[in-house]
Structure 1
Amino acid sequence: MIDIKVPELAESVTEGTVAKWLKNLGDFVEKGEDLVELETDKVNVEISAEEAGVLAETLAEAGDTVKVGDIIGKIDETSKNTDQGSTPEPEDNKEKEKKEDSTEQKSDKQNFTEENNVERGNEKSHKSRPIATPSARKLAREKGVNLNEIAPRDPLGRVRKEDVVEHQDQSKKEYDNKIEKEKQVQSDPMKPVERIRMSRRRQTIAKRLVEAQQTAAMLTTFNEVDMTNLMELRNRRKDKFLNDNGVKLGFMSFFTKAVIGALKKYPYVNAEIQNDEIILKKFYDIGVAVSTEDGLVVPVVRDADRLDFAGIEKEIGRLAEKAHEKKLSLHDLQGGSFTITNGGVFGSLWSTPILNSPQVGILGMHKIQKRPVAIDDEHFENRPMMYIALSYDHRIIDGKDAVGFLVKVKELIEDPEALLLEG
């Protein structure tokens, strides 16, 4: 038998949740074929077969938490594929199992006799050491099952492997029934509710957001940007840009360039705190928040300062597509130095973004909305305006630098041609 083990996932990721088995018991699998999908704090990971064979056993079910190195299943590499798609158990294996069962029966009968002789007068000790086959004890240890809770069908009172499996199935059914009843039982039938278990990723997102607020001295400063010049430039250049580069010219490339220009002037916003040291980052890996069905993820545009507008738009598009298809790797999500989030795509007019730890700054973009703007003492114009917000860690960023950073972003966006020189 070949053990299916949880592999090394990534730095600081030590466990995951079984999302689903991609193969059923008895299915033949080729070497390298995906067997099971794990959900980690950041991405989903597929575990593939190290050898060809039949999926003979699964030791973890969907929803179970498993750690790196855990054995979650077994592959019988001696079984072969058949034209019918099923894999009969080899005769030599059957004979082997018969011999093992015979050996177990003899061993257990002997154990039964010995235990009765030794522990006949000690009921408490007898209960603490139930009679069970070695395979049953092994499976019970792996599943975390108390053998004392299992009612054996063997007339000798011996717990066999199938008793453990049946007990697990029954326990799962009882748990599922309990959850279903909790969903149905309401304190007020006129006010129905539904209980939904949080996914591992949603739990992790919730934990990280709370940690960010508890560990950082987080403040938010605001400003507003007149988008007139940028929108006019974009309207003039978007068709040619699309024809030349095969990608649309959006606002994110402009804001990414503006953020890089501001980070160069205010380097403490592009930093992090490690113990009693400040780590100033001399690179510009910009995280771009993407909303997915499973929650918010922040893939990173690497070396964004070395990319032109088309390069940034292509990379953002590539990462967003991977995010929606659940194909992001851990590398795609790690190591960002600053984050941009755009709540404006959902209609948000004003918000206070939460830091993406261990980063110390995050820029929030919002909805573009026309508002009357004073041109001089006597004239007003309706201008497309956007509120922008910078949340920052006040432990290393002073208010003066935070405001200066946001003003610099505003200046570069309102004069988009300056991005070519300073972004």
Structure 2
Amino acid sequence: MVEVKVPELAESITEGTIAKWLKNVGEKVNKGDDIVELETDKVNVQIAAEDEGVLTEIKKGEGDTVEVGEVIAVLDPNAAPGEAPKAAPEAKKEEAQPEAQAPKAEAPAAAEAAESHERLVATPAARKLARELGIDLKTVAASDPLGRIRPEDVKREATKPAASQAQPAASATAPKATENPAKPVERVRMTRRRQTIATRLVEAQHTAAMLTTFNEVDMTAIMDVRARRKDAFMKKHDVKLGFMSFFTKAVVGALKEFPLLNAEIQGTDLLIKKFYDIGIAVSTDEGLVVPVVRDADRKTFAEIERDIADLAVKARSGKLTLADLQGGTFTITNGGTFGSLISTPILNAPQVGILGMHKIQYRPVAIDKETMEIRPMMYLALSYDHRIVDGKEAVSFLVKVKELLEDPESLLLEG
């Protein structure tokens, strides 16, 4: 028998959730075949078989949380395809036990407790220690700003007086509020990625002195360039000339003039980056992800547009890798694609700047004291970390972005 284990994924990822089994029990598996899809905090990862054989046992069902190194399935090199497994899958037996061992009236409460436990975020070491000490992780308060329970949190809970540990248990037995049939609700468990997004957005607001400054840009010149060049650009490069390449180039040009927007805080030091890896926020069904366009300062408009298009396709098809998401120095997000007129984007920590694009709207604009024209205008928003970026620098950065966008030819020189 060959055990299928959760492989090492990345330094910061120690566990994941079984999203989907790609092979069924009794099915032949060849070496290199993808057999299961694992949802992690950042991306979905497909685990490939390192050996071949027939899948005879699935130990963890879809929705189960698994740790790196944990056995999730068994392959039999000597079994014939379609051969019935010697024992029922462990995950299915566990699902059947509550019904067989407990009264039906207690089943909903048991299911609710199990669901609550699965939502907990704890390190593998903390889970192991909790099992050894008989500590219910639901009673442990996390000191980690990300909400992850660590071993020291479990030890602290174990040293509490018995009375304080008993109190949560007593309250847990209190009768549950009766749901009103006239007010129907639907309870949907958050995906692991949505939980991570929620945690990191709150962390960004708690750890950074975040402010937002606004400006507006006249899109006339860019729209004129696109109208004149889009067909030739498409014919030559086989990719559309969009707005994102202009904004990426403008951001790079402004970052070169105001480098603190391309930095991050590490302890008491500033890490000022001399490279320009620009994150482009992409909306997917599972939530917002920010793949990174590498070395944007060295790329042409066509290369940037092609990178963005490829990353968007990978994001929406669940094919992004961890490498696609790591190491960005600054982020651009475009709420205008959904009709947003103005918003305040939240920092993508540990970055200290994020530019928000918005809907292009035709508005009357005063050209001078006597002339008014209808122009395509867009509001821009720059959120920044005031701990290292002063208001003057942030405002000047955004003005520089505006100037570069309103004079697209300058992007060839500045960007």
TM-score, scaled to structure 1: 0.78
Which secondary structure state, in structure 2, belongs to the residue aligned with residue 316 of structure 1? helix
Match of 1:212 in 2: 204
Match of 1:87 in 2: 83
Unaligned 5+ segments in structure 1 are 95-134, 144-161
Match of 2:314 in 1: 322
Aligned partners of 1:322 and 1:328 also within 8 Å: yes
Match of 2:39 in 1: 39
Indicate the percent of aligned positions where both proteins have the same amino acid: 66
| Cα deviation, residue 273, structure 1 | 0.8
Residues 1:12 and 2:4 are matched in the alignment: no
One-letter amino acid matched to 1:188: N
Distance 2:110 2:230 in 1: 57
Distance 1:252 1:409 in 2: 13
Aligned partners of 2:56 and 2:84 also within 8 Å: no
| Cα deviation, residue 178, structure 1 | 5.6
How many residues align? The count is 349
Distance 1:163 1:55 in 2: 17
After TM superposition, the structure 1 = structure 2 runs for residues 52-63 of structure 1, keeping only pairs within 5 Å, are 52-63=52-63
Distance 1:169 1:311 in 2: 58
Match of 1:188 in 2: 180
User: Alpha carbon RMSD of aligned pairs, Å?
Assistant: 2.6
Aligned partners of 2:98 and 2:110 also within 8 Å: no
One-letter amino acid matched to 1:245: H
Distance 1:346 1:9 in 2: 34
Of 395, 400, 403, the match for 2:395: 403
Match of 1:24 in 2: 24
Match of 1:167 in 2: 97
Match of 2:169 in 1: none
Match of 1:412 in 2: 404
Match of 1:103 in 2: none
CA offsets, 1:252-295, max 9 Å, x none? 00000000000000000001111111101110000000000110
Match of 1:268 in 2: 260
One-letter amino acid matched to 2:57: E
Distance 1:352 1:171 in 2: 53
Inter-CA distance 88–276: structure 2 relative to 1 (3 Å threshold): same
Which secondary structure state, in structure 2, belongs to the residue aligned with residue 327 of structure 1? coil
Match of 2:165 in 1: none
Match of 1:299 in 2: 291
TM-score, scaled to structure 2: 0.79
| Cα deviation, residue 78, structure 1 | 2.2
Distance 2:93 2:207 in 1: 49
Aligned partners of 1:186 and 1:193 also within 8 Å: no
| Cα deviation, residue 22, structure 1 | 1.3
| Cα deviation, residue 234, structure 1 | 1.2
Inter-CA distance 296–171: structure 2 relative to 1 (3 Å threshold): farther
Inter-CA distance 54–68: structure 2 relative to 1 (3 Å threshold): same
Residues 1:226 and 2:222 are matched in the alignment: no
Distance 1:62 1:17 in 2: 8
Of 384, 388, 391, the match for 2:380: 388
Match of 2:78 in 1: 78
CA offsets, 1:51-72, max 9 Å, x none? 1112122221111111111111
| Cα deviation, residue 250, structure 1 | 0.5
CA offsets, 1:61-98, max 9 Å, x none? 111111111111211122234xxxx1367xxxx8xxxx
The more displaced of 22-31 and 234-243 is: 22-31
Distance 1:87 1:167 in 2: 25
Unaligned 5+ segments in structure 2 are 116-176
Inter-CA distance 285–370: structure 2 relative to 1 (3 Å threshold): same
